[in-house]
């Protein structure tokens, strides 16, 4: 062990660029052995406090950076995990990603990874297996998998641990996912509408097979059946053009609902505008709630009742689950994240 560490250190100092001070330089400056420096920097072995301080001071003064590559070669680990935003054909479609949930989730995942001493690589849309093979990572977090998700399949083919945020609805046996509780939040929204006096409760959603949307749709249909109502459900086409959003909103309003839950936030803007154009007042004539909270929901006029998906907790749980899988832990229960409804002006009628 000591020998290989010393060798890695000297390899560093004599690298082709030759600018970085190596572990030998630190050892020389602190007047200790390379082994002692290694022990201090890795928190191993018994080294007295004064020597620790001297080594730390020398490393700081020389600007020494432990070579994480050398570390990776020893442990077989890169201490780097990857994150993949929902993308692919829709990579350049801003509608879905416009909501600040994704940036918030990204930043929280970076922080959660850092707290576990992991660097977070953001990966581009993966077009083929080689795209993934190029990265030195221990595993990855895939956001919003579709059925038989190609990104997840690439991780499996390379034997790389992977977890998802949202689950593949066609793989009920896969426990390696974290997801906000779509079914519970749908029921909460629907009951909130019912308590507000709504009798014709509808759903406006999108034909994308993410578990968030699929669970909301299923729960809504079940809820309507329990109450002996016909479901009033309109799905926008998944290509998400402004035109499909507008025609879906028009089809929905034609059905004259008095409340509508809109799981994808980007469909709500067009609905509100069309309602205004038609003289349908929100919330007086129509209660509205959206499935993800955002700056836009908070500052909309009226402010939109929205589900808070807790991106901070989702990020922490996703990193924790991935680390568990990387470390070879056994499969456990999926992590379902509780959500909170923020009732706002769009669903609260003045008494």
Binders of a second copy in range 13-72 (CB under 8 A)? 15-20, 60, 63-70, 72
* Distance of closest approach, residue 34 Cβ to a second copy, in angstroms: 17
**Tokens coding 180:** 């906000």
* Nearer CB in complex with a second copy: 201/315: 315
**Sign of the dihedral defined by the CA atoms of residues 329, 179, 294, 244, in that order:** positive
**Residue 88 in the binding site for a second copy (CB under 8 A):** no
**Residue 122 in the binding site for a second copy (CB under 8 A):** yes
* Distance of closest approach, residue 183 Cβ to a second copy, in angstroms: 27
Stretch that binds a second copy, among 104-112, 182-190, 214-222, 342-350 (CB under 8 A): 104-112
Stretch that binds a second copy, among 122-130, 215-223, 247-255, 329-337 (CB under 8 A): 122-130
- Round to whole Å and give the CA distance between 167 and 119: 24
Element (H, E) at 195: helix 182-195
* Distance of closest approach, residue 296 Cβ to a second copy, in angstroms: 5
Among 35, 104, 186, 347, binds a second copy (CB under 8 A): 104
* Nearer CB in complex with a second copy: 17/46: 17
Overall residue count recorded for the chain in this entry? 351
**Residue 75 in the binding site for a second copy (CB under 8 A):** yes
* Nearer CB in complex with a second copy: 102/220: 102
**Residue 93 in the binding site for a second copy (CB under 8 A):** no
Question: How many positions of this chain bind a second copy (CB under 8 A)?
Answer: 71
> If you write DSSP's letter for every residue of 120-167 in order, what string do you get?
EEEPPPP-SHHHHHTS--SEEEEESPPTT-HHHHHHHHTT--EEEES-
**Residue 91 in the binding site for a second copy (CB under 8 A):** yes
Window 140 to 179, contacts with a second copy (CB under 8 A): 157-159
Neighbours of 31 (CB within 10 A): 11
SS3 state of residue 13: helix
- CB contact at 8 A, 135 and 113: no
**Which ranges of 227-336 does DSSP label H, i.e. alpha helix?**
242-254, 266-277, 295-299, 311-326
Window 314 to 343, contacts with a second copy (CB under 8 A): none
- Shortest CA distance to 140 belongs to which of 18, 149, 264, 39? 149
Which are the contacts of 285, defined by CB distance < 8 A and separation ≥ 6?
Answer: 258, 275
Stretch that binds a second copy, among 43-51, 107-115, 174-182, 200-208 (CB under 8 A): 107-115
Q: Which residue has the tokens 């000591």?
A: 2
**Residue 135 in the binding site for a second copy (CB under 8 A):** yes
Among 43, 76, 279, 350, binds a second copy (CB under 8 A): 76
């Amino acid at each position: 062990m000591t020998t290989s560490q010393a060798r890695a250190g000297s390899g560093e100092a004599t690298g082709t660029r030759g600018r970085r001070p190596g572990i030998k330089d630190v050892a020389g400056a602190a007047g200790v052995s390379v082994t002692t420096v290694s022990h201090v920097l890795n928190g191993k072995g018994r080294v007295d406090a004064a020597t620790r301080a001297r080594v730390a001071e020398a490393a700081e003064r020389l600007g020494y950076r432990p070579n994480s590559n050398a570390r990776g070669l020893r442990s077989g680990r890169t201490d780097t995990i990857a994150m993949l935003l929902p993308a692919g054909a829709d990579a350049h479609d801003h509608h879905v990603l416009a909501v600040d949930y994704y940036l918030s989730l990204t930043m929280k995942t970076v922080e959660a990874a850092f707290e576990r001493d992991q660097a977070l690589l953001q990966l581009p849309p993966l077009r083929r297996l080689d795209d993934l093979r190029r990265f030195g990572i221990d595993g990855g977090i895939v956001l919003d998998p579709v059925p038989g998700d190609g990104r997840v399949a690439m991780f499996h083919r390379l034997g790389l641990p992977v977890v998802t945020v949202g689950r593949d609805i066609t793989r009920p046996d896969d426990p390696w996912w974290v997801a906000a509780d779509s079914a519970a939040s749908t029921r909460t929204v629907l009951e909130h509408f019912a308590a507000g006096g709504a009798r014709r409760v509808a759903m406006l959603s999108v034909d994308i097979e993410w578990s968030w949307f699929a669970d909301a749709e299923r729960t809504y249909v079940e809820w309507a059946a329990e109450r002996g109502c016909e479901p009033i459900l309109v799905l926008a086409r998944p290509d998400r053009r402004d035109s499909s959003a507008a025609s879906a909103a028009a089809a929905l309003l034609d059905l004259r609902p008095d409340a509508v839950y809109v799981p994808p936030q980007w469909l709500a803007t067009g609905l509100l505008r069309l309602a205004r154009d038609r003289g349908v007042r929100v919330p007086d004539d129509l209660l509205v709630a959206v499935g993800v909270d955002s700056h836009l929901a908070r500052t909309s006029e009226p402010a939109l009742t929205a589900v808070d998906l807790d991106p901070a907790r989702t990020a922490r749980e996703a990193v924790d689950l991935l680390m568990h899988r990387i470390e070879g832990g056994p499969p456990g229960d999926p992590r379902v994240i509780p959500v909170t409804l923020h009732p706002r002006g769009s669903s609260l009628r003045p008494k």
